[in-house]
């Protein structure tokens, strides 16, 4: 353990990280956002899920530094009287959770399909990749809207509220797996012809073992790069769905549903309910994308910015 | 003595869009236990295809069209994938041309070695590691205990090739097929690796098939040579006989083309023309367009192998040897 930490300190990855200011700042911001959101019950001043602490009389209070603002609520309150800061912290936790969950699912489906299609080839490759093409020809949003809408009508909205998180993970996961499948397949095709694969066959290893033990680790750098981009995308998709009212319900708001909820009040002057979650969402997605950018430059030195 | 490997009338064909081409044409070879055989020829002569056909790993669209391969008395060319895998890497090992490429860059040497052992033998991780250490020591890798946890990029080219040889030795195979094992290495290391191979063959009683285009290397290592041209064996016999007294004009040309056989300052000799592509092998003797001794019969009739020296088993497929063409 100590040895691998030492190795990491000497590695090129860490070296280039130290030299890249944007990557360092992005990482710091991301770290703060993730730590804060995952320790929400400890940090947030109020619990937005606890109806007893919410007072409707506090609704639509402006941020503390404005006229009529209260020091109790640093960033003001939403239309139900919830502390906006607390709600945002909890909401961000949901957004990050759904984003990560969806990417894990995408990666699982996509990597398996890409690996099998690329390694085995032939009609199976054709079949799986056409499947991916078909999936890609449906816009992510369309698939997501369709599935959530059907789910809501079939199961009713109270059941839907309970299952909203896993459902969003599945919906976004299924809609985006072809990205992984294509990337992995392309890398597998490149690796398959290399001599070490031939050598592994000559040693008498089975195909499954060659696929998962020998080829898969060699495709990991591209998987890592698209994973960062995909996390950002998944968070955006979740926000967009929630904004359209098909994502997280209002009593358990994510950043997207907060923006949506505030949107109705924006012309009555309560701009903060929409603006603050919006800023947080942009910040979150931006730093993840910047980190992904840096990672791509490090792992693929042949690509230059320009 | 019963040969360990006996190839009889092997035909390997490739089904291309434009029709089938014959990459190996009626090849017969046999190899005794402990014997070292060299396969020599230009690029594209079918040397490597022959090597791969033994372990049934010819790349598609290639296939064995005819003939049989007996290994330890058993016909292995019709084995199922499952059956051949028990032999591949276990009884027959292969060493590749490029040591930079043949090791997986993301796995440690130890992992790659123990994996190869565990694929064929029923034993614990510790036992496998012990064997790996033993074999690394055998190929003269210093401090093998430390090396097991290192990655391929931490080794030099010569070291990597030794590791690959160590991997090929793991299961104490009966036969090693070395496909140009030293082409990617420089000359001093080349000699070291070759000495190592001879040493191992002699101490372990393994047979070796050395595929190369380097006659110098072959003459140092092997006991017997088979010269291939356009998919056929055109001359075979004891190494000494072939080097000292080549019968086929192609072998003579190859030997003449060695830089050692020229006086300094003069241009190097080369055999005129190119090896025919497999899609249009000329009628008669495949070598006839390039042959300095070509006669009428060479264009029309394909020569069959004939003894140049019955005692040593020196044979050549040339009309000059069979006596159909007067020199």
What pLDDT score was predicted for residue B1? Answer: 64
Whether the predicted pLDDT of A25 surpasses 90:
yes
Residues of B within 8 A of A200 (CB-CB) are: 104
Which residues, in sequence order, are CB contacts of A296 under 8 Å at separation 6+? Answer: A225, A303
Instruction: Read off the pLDDT of each residue in A275-301 and give the average, rounded to a whole number.
Output: 87
Classify the C-alpha dihedral B165-B171-B172-B178 as positive or negative. Answer: negative
Torsions phi, psi for B131 (to 5 deg): -65, -40
Residues of A within 8 A of B57 (CB-CB) are: 198, 201-202
Whether the predicted pLDDT of B250 surpasses 60:
yes
* DSSP assignment of A240-269: HHHHTTSSS-TTS--HHHHHHHHHTTGGGT
Interface check B164 vs A, CB under 8 A: yes
Provide the pairing of β-strand B207-212 with B36-40. parallel
- Closest Cβ–Cβ partner in A199, A204, A213 for B96: A199
Measured distance CA(B245)–CA(B235) in Å, rounded: 11
Q: Are B105 and B151 a contacting pair, CB within 8 Å?
A: yes
- Closest Cβ–Cβ partner in A196, A205, A217 for B115: A205
pLDDT digits (tens, 9 = 90+) for A242-259: 888 787 877 788 888 888
pLDDT digits (tens, 9 = 90+) for B7-41: 999 999 999 888 888 889 888 888 998 899 999 98
For A195, name the nearest residue in chain B, comparing CA atoms only.
Answer: B102
Q: Are A255 and A91 a contacting pair, CB within 8 Å?
A: yes
What pLDDT score was predicted for residue A265? Answer: 80
Q: Among A196, A206, A218, which would you mutate to test the B interface (most chain B Cβ atoms within 10 Å of its Cβ)?
A: A196
Interface check B149 vs A, CB under 8 A: no
Own/partner contacts of B305-314, CB < 8 Å, gap of 24 or more, are: B305/B233, B305/B236, B308/B237, B308/B241, B308/B245, B308/B247, B309/B237, B309/B241, B312/B237, B312/B238, B312/B241, B313/B236, B313/B237, B313/B238, B314/B235, B314/B236, B314/B237, B314/B238, B314/B241, B314/B242, B314/B245, B314/B247
Q: What is the mean pLDDT of chain B?
A: 87
Name which of A14-28, B114-128, B250-264 the model is least confident about. B250-264
- pLDDT above 90 covers a percentage of chain B that reads 24
**Looking at the DSSP assignment, which residues form a beta bridge with residue A225?**
none
Name which of A190-204, A291-305, B48-62, B194-208 the model is least confident about. A291-305
Coil, strand or helix at A71: coil
Whether the predicted pLDDT of A130 surpasses 90:
yes
Greatest CA span in chain A, whole angstroms?
A: 77
- Work out how many CB contacts closer than 8 A connect A with B: 64
Which tokens go with B249?
Answer: 């004009």
CB spacing of A202 vs B105 below 8 angstroms: no
Instruction: Read off the pLDDT of each residue in A96-119 and give the average, rounded to a whole number.
Output: 93
For B105, name the nearest residue in chain A, comparing CA atoms only.
Answer: A218
CB spacing of B98 vs A204 below 8 angstroms: no
- Our CA dihedral for B296, B298, B304, B310, rounded to 10 degrees, sits at 80
- Would you put residue A94 in left (φ > 0), alpha (ψ -120 to 50) or beta? alpha
Instruction: Read off the pLDDT of each residue in A268-283 and give the average, rounded to a whole number.
Output: 85
What pLDDT score was predicted for residue A302? Answer: 61
Instruction: Read off the pLDDT of each residue in B209-216 and give the average, rounded to a whole number.
Output: 88
CB spacing of B167 vs A202 below 8 angstroms: no
Measured distance CA(B175)–CA(B76) in Å, rounded: 14
Helix (H) or strand (E) holding B314: strand B314-316
Whether the predicted pLDDT of A305 surpasses 70:
no
Residues of B within 8 A of A202 (CB-CB) are: 55, 57, 88-89, 93-94, 96
What pLDDT score was predicted for residue A61? Answer: 73
Measured distance CA(A220)–CA(A226) in Å, rounded: 10
Instruction: Read off the pLDDT of each residue in B143-161 and give the average, rounded to a whole number.
Output: 88
Instruction: Read off the pLDDT of each residue in B70-82 and give the average, rounded to a whole number.
Output: 88
Q: How confident is the model at residue A306 (pLDDT cuts 50, 70, 90)?
A: very low
DSSP B155: S
What pLDDT score was predicted for residue B327? Answer: 62
Which tokens go with A59?
Answer: 């609704």
Measured distance CA(B162)–CA(B136) in Å, rounded: 8
Looking at A121-139, list the stretches that DSSP marks H as alpha helix, in order from N- to C-terminal side: 122-137
Interface check B106 vs A, CB under 8 A: yes
Instruction: Read off the pLDDT of each residue in B50-59 and give the average, rounded to a whole number.
Output: 87
pLDDT digits (tens, 9 = 90+) for A131-169: 999 988 888 788 878 887 888 888 877 777 778 888 889
For A220, name the nearest residue in chain B, comparing CA atoms only.
Answer: B106
What pLDDT score was predicted for residue A65? Answer: 76
Whether the predicted pLDDT of B95 surpasses 50:
yes
Interface check B87 vs A, CB under 8 A: yes
Domains and CATH numbers, chain A: 20-34+83-299 (1.10.3720.10)
- Closest Cβ–Cβ partner in A200, A202, A218 for B55: A202
Interface check B121 vs A, CB under 8 A: no
| Cis amide prior to B221 (ω within 30 degrees) | no
For B88, name the nearest residue in chain A, comparing CA atoms only.
Answer: A204
User: What are the angstrom distances between the C-alpha of B19 and each of B13, B16, B38, B79, B214?
Assistant: 10, 5, 31, 26, 32
Q: Among A12, A191, A194, A199, which would you mutate to test the B interface (most chain B Cβ atoms within 10 Å of its Cβ)?
A: A199
Strand order in the sheet with B92-95: B92-95, B175-179, B207-212, B36-40, B224-229, B232-238, B314-316, B306-309
Whether the predicted pLDDT of B193 surpasses 90:
no
Measured distance CA(A66)–CA(A46) in Å, rounded: 21
Cα B43 off chain centre by: 12
pLDDT digits (tens, 9 = 90+) for A212-252: 989 998 888 888 888 988 999 899 888 888 888 787 877 78
Complex ipTM:
0.74
Interface check B176 vs A, CB under 8 A: no
CB spacing of B104 vs A204 below 8 angstroms: no
For B82, name the nearest residue in chain A, comparing CA atoms only.
Answer: A206
């Amino acid at each position: 353990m100590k040895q691998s930490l030492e190795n990491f300190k000497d590695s090129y990855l860490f070296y280039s990280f130290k030299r890249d200011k944007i990557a360092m700042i992005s990482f710091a911001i991301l770290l703060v956002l993730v730590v804060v959101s995952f320790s929400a019950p400890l940090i947030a001043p109020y619990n937005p899920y606890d109806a007893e602490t919410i007072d409707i009389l506090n609704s639509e209070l402006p941020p503390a530094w404005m006229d009529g603002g209260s020091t109790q609520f640093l960033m003001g309150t939403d239309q139900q009287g919830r502390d906006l800061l607390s709600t945002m912290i909890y909401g961000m936790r949901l957004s990050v959770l759904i984003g990560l969950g969806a990417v894990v699912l995408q990666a699982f489906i996509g990597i398996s399909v890409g690996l099998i299609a690329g390694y085995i080839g032939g009609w199976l490759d054709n079949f799986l990749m056409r499947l991916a093409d078909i999936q890609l020809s449906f816009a992510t949003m369309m698939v997501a809207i369709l599935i959530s809408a059907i789910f809501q009508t079939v199961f009713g909205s109270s059941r839907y509220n309970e299952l909203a998180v896993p459902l969003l993970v599945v919906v976004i996961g299924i809609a985006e797996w072809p990205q992984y499948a294509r990337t992995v397949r392309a890398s597998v095709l490149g690796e398959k012809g290399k001599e070490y694969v031939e050598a592994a066959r000559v040693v008498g290893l089975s195909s499954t073992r060659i696929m998962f033990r020998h080829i898969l680790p060699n495709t990991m750098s591209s998987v890592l790069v698209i994973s960062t981009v995909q996390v950002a995308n998944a968070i955006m998709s979740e926000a967009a769905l929630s904004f359209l009212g098909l994502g997280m319900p209002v009593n358990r708001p994510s950043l997207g549903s907060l923006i949506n909820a505030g949107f109705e009040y924006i012309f009555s002057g309560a701009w903060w309910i929409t603006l603050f979650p919006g800023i947080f969402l942009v910040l979150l997605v931006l730093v993840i994308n910047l980190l992904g950018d840096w990672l791509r430059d490090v792992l693929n030195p042949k690509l230059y910015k320009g | 003595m019963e040969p360990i490997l006996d190839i009889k009338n092997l035909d390997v064909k490739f089904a291309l869009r434009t029709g089938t081409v014959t990459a190996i044409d009626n090849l017969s070879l046999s190899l005794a236990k402990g014997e070292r055989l060299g396969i020599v020829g230009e690029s594209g002569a079918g040397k490597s295809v022959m090597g791969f056909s033994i372990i049934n790993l010819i790349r598609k669209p290639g296939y064995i069209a005819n003939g049989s391969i007996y290994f330890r008395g058993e016909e292995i060319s019709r084995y199922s994938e499952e059956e051949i895998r028990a032999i591949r890497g276990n009884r027959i090992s292969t060493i590749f041309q490029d040591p930079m490429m043949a090791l997986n860059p993301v796995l440690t040497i130890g992992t790659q070695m123990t994996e190869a052992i565990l694929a064929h033998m029923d034993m614990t991780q510790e036992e496998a590691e012990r064997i790996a250490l033993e074999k690394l020591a055998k190929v003269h890798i210093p401090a093998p205990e430390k090396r097991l946890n290192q990655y391929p990029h931490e080794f030099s080219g010569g070291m990597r090739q030794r590791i690959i040889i160590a991997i090929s030795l793991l299961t104490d195979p009966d036969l090693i097929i070395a496909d140009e094992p030293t082409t990617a290495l420089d000359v001093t290391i080349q000699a070291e690796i070759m000495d190592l191979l001879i040493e191992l063959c002699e101490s372990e009683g393994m047979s070796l098939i050395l595929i190369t285009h380097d006659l110098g290397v072959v003459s140092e290592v092997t006991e017997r040579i088979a010269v291939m041209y356009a998919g056929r064996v055109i001359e075979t016999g004891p190494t000494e006989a072939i080097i000292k007294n080549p019968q086929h004009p192609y072998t003579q040309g190859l030997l003449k083309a060695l830089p050692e056989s020229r006086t300094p300052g003069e241009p190097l000799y080369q055999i005129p023309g190119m090896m025919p592509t497999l899609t249009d092998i000329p009628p008669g003797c495949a070598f006839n367009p390039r042959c300095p001794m070509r006669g009428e019969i060479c264009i029309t009739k394909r020569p069959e192998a004939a003894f140049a020296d019955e005692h040593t088993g020196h044979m050549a497929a040339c009309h000059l040897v069979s006596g159909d063409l007067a020199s």
